[in-house]
Chains A and B, each alone.
Chain A
């Protein structure tokens, strides 16, 4: 919440207008408007099945809404191939950890720099020196991220052997390796204990502050959401019922009803 005043005046980097999404006859989102402002931490919350994940998948370009417009930095974004999302500067983590199980923590983070690496097989194979120089450059950046996330001790450990909380941290590291403008976190604290949650909160705030990364997150833990977000958008049955600062949202009657199951 530190830079909240700055955020409220800053530019909109993604503007989602009148988003409608349905799967067959099932309406997941209807007429949702949402703006993502540069440098903010935006939380999308709501009861189960409210359309949070659908919204995140629209932001990340995996789903294309049947009706509505997605503007990315002032330009209308058309359907994009899933592997090109990273190139737009959008990185993400997954609800069920999706790490490269066969690799070490360091290799996972290095792989996150995939789009920043030149891939020239012949050069890599023959002029090992040139390949090595590139590797060293990216390796340095990866080590910075490792220091930042305080996972020095496990950098060479295969990720499948790490405890859950650390796996989530490595996944965050891999997303950061992309040097994204917009970072999407799908339930970054699900299944964590209190200590792990506190660590994760601190990293999210630090990423936002130190790198200026815009962050959109989905989270169930209301306490956490209210603590770290600059702004909260609430979805219920595919409709946006509230959007504002944590305090504004907390006192909104519709939100209370949605969470208590009334109305």
Chain B
């Protein structure tokens, strides 16, 4: 066995896994705070990436474009709270879930109506094909930078949740709505924060994915890759989203290279789901998920 090649595949898998983690993170944030599985997260990634790339094409400098996109994502969050969540407050979670499906199509359509549906090239100034050489293994530079960006984002988010007043209020709402209200935490404001944060994560994910694949409609379907990640890592855990992403990324690349030959290849596409199924059978709440204890 060629160990350098193994290392190359392994690290490559880890790095692409980080990209899955980025998308999964957006889901976890909203699920944690409101128990809603936000089906529209993929559409938000597409919308953020499209907005960002079109602003760049208009000749706006990159930092300003990031800022403007972020402002637009916050406005989107406020609109979602006002128009979708507020009228549905206290409804069953399945109803909120259905609403996010509608939201998904609305945002996808709006993104393409406001901008357009062509494939856009997004250049973040990193050469996509450049690689680091470690021994005899080649590690893609772009993937390394993407991983660093994701890592930084996760660090900032954890500090925010852990140490700020708003972060603590967010965790309070995630734990118990009634109790959060009783100490004076307004749920609506918190939802706007959560959806804005999910919007920021969508922007980062969109920028990274967009510069790899080109900004196009297909980006919204990377959200599907987040589902096995969430099942493996647990829906309520930020570290779980990271670890789940790494497992999925690594697993699918290694499986493709080392098992693909035996079953005719292309197992990269279904392997994560099989992995997720396995986890579901052994530990239904995911590796880091909150243990489900039913009292009788």
Contacts and interface: CB of A to CB of B under 8 A. Distances in A.
Interface residues of A, number: 33
Given A114-B169, A121-B166, A124-B165, A83 B175 contact: no
B179 A119 contact: no
Interface string A16-55: 0000000000000000000000000000000000000000
A83 B89 CA distance: 15
B176 A98 contact: yes
B165 A119 contact: yes
B185 A83 contact: yes
B171 interface: yes
A178 B180 CA distance: 12
A110 B171 CA distance: 13
Nearest to B169: A114
A115 B184 contact: yes
B279 to A, nearest CB: 22
Interface string B148-188: 00000000000010011110110110111011111111110
Contact of A86 (B163, B174, B183, B187): B183
Contacts of B182: 82, 85-86, 91-92, 94, 98, 175
Interface string B1-21: 000000000000000000000
Interface stretch (A3-11, A71-79, A100-108, A199-207): A100-108
A98 B168 contact: no
Given A94-B179, A102-B174, A102-B175, A84 B184 contact: yes
Contacts of A86: 182-184
A83 B186 contact: yes
Given A99-B179, A101-B176, A111 B187 contact: no
Interface in B211-227: none
A230 B174 CA distance: 38
Contacts of A98: 176, 178-179, 182
A110 B175 contact: no
A159 to B, nearest CB: 9
B155 to A, nearest CB: 13
A67 interface: no
Nearest to B173: A100
B166 A111 contact: no
Residue in B165, B166, B176 whose Cβ sees the most chain A Cβ within 10 Å: B165
Contact of A174 (B181, B183, B187): B183
A153 interface: no
Contacts of B178: 94, 98
A78 B106 CA distance: 38
Nearest to A116: B184
Nearest to B159: A125
A125 B163 CA distance: 9
B186 A99 contact: no
Given A83-B185, A94-B182, A111-B185, 19 more contacts: A85-B181, A85-B182, A86-B182, A98-B182, A100-B175, A100-B180, A102-B174, A103-B171, A103-B172, A103-B175, A110-B168, A111-B172, A111-B183, A114-B183, A115-B184, A117-B165, A119-B165, A124-B163, A131-B164
